[in-house]
Amino acid sequence: MAASEIPTASEAARQRAAEFLLHRHHFIWPEALPWLLAIAAFFVFPDRMTIGTQVLIMIMFALSLDLILGYAGIITLGHAAFFGIGAYTVGLGLARLGWSEPISGLIAAGLVAAFAGMIAGWFLLRYRGLTLLMLTIATAAMLQEAGNIRSDFSGGYDGLPGLTFDPLLGLFQYDLYSHTNYIYVLVVLAVVFYFVRRIVYSPFGQALTGIRENVRRMHAIGSPVHRRLVTVYAISAGIAGVAGALFTQTNAYVTLTVFDFDTSAKVMVMLILGGTGRLYGPFLGAAVYMLLEDKLSKMSPTFWQFGIGLMLVLAVLFARRGLLGLADTVWRKLARRGAP
């Protein structure tokens, strides 16, 4: 059918769709808000930067999960595996090889974790549902057990303490209040975020959403589904590895608990809380979760745990798209009411 046979009414619709596709990846001003808040926090709460740094690291970790879970629809309860691999790459690199330069260590951690993600993904991503879930749990658990078997090398559950890295770029010393760390992590997060944003709006990102929504149709139109999934899994693992490396560098220690089931479950809760399949879901989710945890878990760990559970149940029943999704809905309702 020639293009000229398409009725003109749909020509306009096509134009609108094309317009939308061309412009939707453009930066819009509300996107500056989380970054401005992060910078403002640095000046308003200079003495709370230790927790602030951890929030940023968890945002990055949740962002990596969002890429595979929110966009590609891969359910995993073992993402801590890659966080841990990154954390131990820089930890062991310093403790055993004396590799104390932080930025090259960070890049190495990302590459090692991405490579591990590629291998694991190539094996695991043929499976779905419970099988996939169990295999991801087993991956993280096996790494943890392996680390424990060779605890003479890995430091085991006592960890690798007292890791002192070189000053950043040879210029910035680490201070007691984590000011250097905060800026360091914020800059890395910005770089990673830019990268993720590009991926999400690329044709590759579109294909991932297609796989999430209808994998059969993607097979039918000839999309290389397995290769795409392995690719995004490796990218996500790499980002998780960078987050893990930052965790080790900013805390100056690392133990095998990074591979805990709890770590994987926690990051998933953060993502769900903020909203999956959205670029800023991880920001809101991780920040709200970490700040609440900081306050509430000190008051009563039991109630905090009950609260997380209740939050998950309510999120599934009433707010499947997370806090940002909820905000979206409310915003639309208000806008409709406001309109004549």
What would the two tokens of residue 18 be? Answer: 């094309």
What is the rounded distance in angstroms from the CA atom of residue 187 to the CA atom of residue 295? 26
Q: Which stretch binds another protein (CB under 8 A): 41-49, 82-90, 100-108, 301-309?
A: 301-309
What is the rounded distance in angstroms from the CA atom of residue 319 to the CA atom of residue 119? 35
**Interface characters, 39-58, with another protein (x: CB under 8 A):** --------------------
Q: Which residues of 264-283 are buried (b: 16+ CB within 10 A; e: fewer)?
A: bebbbbbbbbbbbbbbbbbb
Which CB, 69 or 324, lies closer to another protein? 69
Subset of 59-78 contacting another protein (CB under 8 A) = 69, 75, 77
Assess 296 for contact with another protein (CB under 8 A): no
Assess 303 for contact with another protein (CB under 8 A): yes
Subset of 115-134 contacting another protein (CB under 8 A) = 123, 126-127, 129-131, 133-134
- Exactly one of 51, 118, 119, 137 binds another protein (CB under 8 A); that residue is 137
- Exactly one of 51, 119, 138, 292 binds another protein (CB under 8 A); that residue is 138
What would the two tokens of residue 263 be? Answer: 């770590």
Cα 199 to the center of its chain, rounded Å:
14
SS3 category, 168: strand
Which CB, 137 or 288, lies closer to another protein? 137
- Exactly one of 37, 107, 313, 330 binds another protein (CB under 8 A); that residue is 313
SS3 category, 160: strand
Q: What are phi and psi of 254, to 5 degrees?
A: -155, 140
Assess 295 for contact with another protein (CB under 8 A): no
User: Which of 120, 106, 270 lies closest to 189, judged by CA?
Assistant: 106
Shortest distance (Å) from residue 327 CB to another protein: 19
Beta-bridge partner residues of 199 = none
Which CB, 303 or 331, lies closer to another protein? 303
What would the two tokens of residue 246 be? Answer: 């930052």
Which CB, 245 or 290, lies closer to another protein? 290
Q: Which stretch binds another protein (CB under 8 A): 92-100, 104-112, 309-317, 329-337?
A: 309-317
What is the rounded distance in angstroms from the CA atom of residue 75 to the CA atom of residue 196? 19
Subset of 253-272 contacting another protein (CB under 8 A) = 261, 265, 268, 272
Give the Cα-Cα-Cα angle 189, 193, 197 (nearest 5 degrees): 180
Q: Which stretch binds another protein (CB under 8 A): 38-46, 136-144, 192-200, 232-240?
A: 136-144
Assess 171 for contact with another protein (CB under 8 A): no
188 touches 106 (CB < 8 A): yes
Contacts of residue 200, defined as CB under 8 A and 6 or more positions apart, other chains included, come to 67, 71, 279
| Interacting residue ranges for another protein, rule: CB under 8 A | 69, 75, 77, 123, 126-127, 129-131, 133-135, 137-139, 141-142, 145-146, 148-149, 261, 265, 268, 272, 302-303, 305-306, 308-313, 315-317, 320
